[in-house]
Amino acid sequence: MSDTTSSKGRARWLLIVFVAVMLTVSSVAWMSIGAGKAVSQQAEELAEQRIPELREIAELQSAMSDRVTQLYLSYSTGERLVLQTQYTERAERVHLHVDALSRLNLMPEKRQEFLAMVQAFDLQAHRFDQEMAKGADRSWDMLREHLAGAQSVIDQMTVMLAMWRDEISVTAQKSGESALSEVGRLTKLQLGFSIAVLLVSAFVLIALYARLKDQDELYRRAYFDGVTGLPNRWKLEQQLQIKLDQHGTGCLQILRIDRLKIVASTYGHETADQLIQTTARWLQTRLASHNIPHGLYRLNSDSLAILCEQSAARADAERLAQDLASISNRPFELGERELRIALDIGIALFPGDGESVSCLVRNADAALNAKSNGIHYRFFEKRMTDDSAFWLSTEGLLRSALEKQEFELHYQPKQSTDGSTTKGSEALIRWRQGDKLVSPALFIPVAEDSGLILPIGTWVLYEACRQWRAWADSGLPFLPIAVNVSAQQFQDEAFPALVADALQQYAIPQGMIELEITEAVAADHPERVIATMQQLKQAGVSLAIDDFGTGYSSLSYLQRFPIDTLKIDQAFVRTMGSSPEDAAIVSLIMSLAKSLRLKVVAEGVETTEQQEQLSALDCDLLQGYLFSKPIPATEFALRLQSTQSASQ
Ligand code: C2E
Ligand code: MG
Ligand code: MG
């Protein structure tokens, strides 16, 4: 949960940085375009306007001085012809340049003054020409005077043109300078732009790297187990699929660590985790010594799997399994503790034992779960799945069984420790198929997988209440009936209301219906579990933890649960006579229950030795084949009546 939040936070942060960098890049690019435009405008103005102006002025100056030169030439040679032939042409040139300058809109306010000067020059030139035309009567003094007049006009015009030229040069220089500064700005902006582009690339690289890391992390979480670091079930299925696609040969061994759950509930999860880590390391070393290409996987809390390639030989697989099963001879030291574990191994060979991944896994599982007779490894045999394969395909049958009311409840008595008195019963469902009764161990998992457990569980609850009322009405003593509740029912929000309704419908007194919840259900989300338990208690039922000691529930939660009873799992009862460790666990559970003021029921009691041992430990109630198997309701009533009359 917190990982998702932090990755969301990181994504938001990356987005903000990305937007900021992109905005910077865009504005820098925009400014560069602006600066570039300014530079080109300045350059254009220089090229299109100022340069023609300067050229025109230069031309005009040369045309004017040409004309003065003509006058001097004419005066010095006394030839009027020179003047006449070129005069008109030169005058036209001057006028053309003046027109061009006024079109360029150069100094419009001085234009009149300049034209007046041109006319004044024309006048002096004209007078000079007329004086020359007098031939021998010409007055050289007059000629000199006109020449001086023309020269003075030319001087004034030259000064004026020089002023114009200077002004134009200054303006041009200014626009050149500003173009130059624009060029400088442009260069800086270009530099900024390059840095921004670099930033974007770096950002994209970082984002890509982060994403790759995320993907790595996701991949690791999806395909590897966090505790052992081993590849997990999905990875195994992937690898197995590859082998099958390549028509490879090999074997799949599924290993269950026998006492891991007990270790977890007795010493805590940390110790259990350490134990599985140590076991995994030990297995790796053993596997390496067998020289068979292999992979070791963790399937779930207490199961591992080995996929061996290129070796379909049963003998190889057997030698390996035999070796691995020898782990039970070897104690593991975890801190100050010395723990022993046992491995159960189920083996499926491929391609012989299954053509698909799911079939091979199922068959190796079936071999693992088959009756052991003290042998710790078993090869798959077809008969092992005949039953379960049938049931797996019968979800539809279950549905119709519910409609056709093929389910019935059998009742197993709970006895006082001396066995003399029945103190209650547990309702256990059966599926009647003609003469045959089908065990819940076979169909409850299918019902749970398909969700059918909800309507089936509801039926069980109402049927148990109905039966309690029927027995009470027929005069039998009021004895509590225990009903098994599966995880899905317990987690269903409507469940407490359903229970209240069933109790009310059959007017069941407080505590006469007991709900048995497995330890695994109680271990999930303790706060929510406590709230549901409180609602159920308020509805009027009592609560028991079933199969106690096998699950992962932490003992610290136990005191916070509003429960009344602990049912010790059959596995401990079965082995407490032979295993001092299991006997110690039973006694530990017993003293824990006493200190929490909980009742203890031992299930699976089959021998009088077990009965004696449990009663010595001050167990409250016993349940098991020693007293009675689960029996139909009518039989249970008869049994009650007979023990009642016997005691009277
Ligand atoms: P459980 O609740 O732990 O029930 C005890 C199981 O142990 C019963 O098996 C019972 O017949 C069996 N048993 C009792 N005494 C002995 C004994 O001395 N020796 C041996 N070997 N076995 C003994 P059953 O009836 O096959 O039920 C198996 C499991 O199916 C139950 O375990 C319970 O988890 C589940 N189950 C049964 N009925 C229902 C139900 O109505 N709803 C749900 N959700 N689960 C049910
Ligand atoms: Mg039970
Ligand atoms: Mg049980």
Looking at residues 496-512, what average pLDDT do you find?
A: 97
pLDDT band at 194 (very low <50, low <70, confident <90, very high): low
Looking at residues 308-318, what average pLDDT do you find?
A: 78
For the cut 80, the answer to whether the pLDDT of residue 262 exceeds it is no
Q: Is 428 in the pocket of ligand 1 (CB under 6 A)?
A: yes
Pairwise CA distance, residues 553 & 77, whole Å:
134
Highest mean pLDDT among 36-45, 313-322, 407-416, 527-536: 407-416
**pLDDT, position 588:** 87
User: In this predicted model, which residue has the larger pLDDT, 642 or 599?
Assistant: 599
- Write phi, then psi, for 411 (nearest 5 degrees): -120, 130
Residue indicated by tokens 């009546």 = 641
Per-residue three-class SS string for 323-356:
HHHHHHHCCEEECCEEECCCEEEEEEEECCCCCC
User: Which atom of ligand 1 approaches the CA of 606 most closely?
Assistant: 18
- Where are the domains positioned within the chain? 2-223, 233-380, 392-640
Residue indicated by tokens 């049931």 = 391
**pLDDT, position 366:** 83
**Pocket-testing residue among 484, 485, 495, ligand 1, by greatest number of atoms within 8 A of Cβ:** 484
117 half-sphere exposure, CB direction, 13 A CA radius: 21
For residue 318 the two structure tokens come to 């057997």
Gap from CA of 144 to ligand 2 centroid (Å): 144
Instruction: Report the range of poorest mean pLDDT among 254-268, 377-391, 556-570, 616-630.
Output: 377-391
DSSP secondary-structure letter at 508?
Answer: P
**What is the longest distance spanned by two Cα atoms in the chain?**
184
For the cut 50, the answer to whether the pLDDT of residue 3 exceeds it is no
Domains 2-223 and 392-640 share a fold: no
Q: Model confidence over 336-388: pLDDT tens digits?
A: 777 777 788 999 998 889 888 988 998 898 888 775 556 788 899 887 766 55
For the cut 80, the answer to whether the pLDDT of residue 617 exceeds it is yes
User: In this predicted model, which residue has the larger pLDDT, 638 or 194?
Assistant: 638
Q: Is 604 in the pocket of ligand 1 (CB under 6 A)?
A: yes
Gap from CA of 472 to ligand 1 centroid (Å): 24
Tally the residues of the chain: 648
Ligand 1 atom 37: residue of nearest CA: 428
Gap from CA of 493 to ligand 3 centroid (Å): 24
**pLDDT, position 524:** 63
Gap from CA of 486 to ligand 2 centroid (Å): 10
Provide the pairing of β-strand 250-257 with 343-350. antiparallel
Pairwise CA distance, residues 546 & 544, whole Å:
6
CATH topology of domain 233-380: Alpha-Beta Plaits (3.30.70)
CATH topology of domain 2-223: Four Helix Bundle (Hemerythrin (Met), subunit A) (1.20.120)
Residues ≥6 apart with Cβ < 8 Å to 412 = 425, 426, 428, 623, 628, 629, 630, 631
Ligand 1 atom 8: residue of nearest CA: 428
CATH of 392-640, picked from 3.20.20.450, 3.40.50.720, 3.30.479.30, 3.90.226.10, is 3.20.20.450
Angle, alpha carbons 444-436-476 (nearest 5°): 80
Ligand 1 atom 2: residue of nearest CA: 484
Ligand 1 atom 23: residue of nearest CA: 604
Q: Is 429 in the pocket of ligand 1 (CB under 6 A)?
A: yes
For residue 108 the two structure tokens come to 């419009």
Provide the pairing of β-strand 621-623 with 599-603. parallel
For the cut 90, the answer to whether the pLDDT of residue 306 exceeds it is yes
First to last CA, the chain: 63
Looking at residues 602-622, what average pLDDT do you find?
A: 96
Q: What is the pLDDT of the chain when averaged over all its residues?
A: 82
Please, are residues 440 and 430 in contact by the beta-carbon 8 Å criterion? yes
User: In this predicted model, which residue has the larger pLDDT, 477 or 185?
Assistant: 477
pLDDT band at 183 (very low <50, low <70, confident <90, very high): low
Please, are residues 446 and 464 in contact by the beta-carbon 8 Å criterion? no
Q: Mapping DSSP to helix (H, G, I), strand (E, B) and coil, where does residue 603 land?
A: strand
Q: Is 460 in the pocket of ligand 1 (CB under 6 A)?
A: yes
Q: Is 603 in the pocket of ligand 1 (CB under 6 A)?
A: yes
For the cut 60, the answer to whether the pLDDT of residue 553 exceeds it is no
* pTM of the complete model: 0.49
Please, are residues 257 and 302 in contact by the beta-carbon 8 Å criterion? yes
DSSP secondary-structure letter at 433?
Answer: E
For the cut 50, the answer to whether the pLDDT of residue 1 exceeds it is no
Supply the DSSP string of 454-491, one letter for each residue: HHHHHHHHHHHHHHHHHHHHTT-----EEEEE-HHHHH
For the cut 50, the answer to whether the pLDDT of residue 2 exceeds it is no
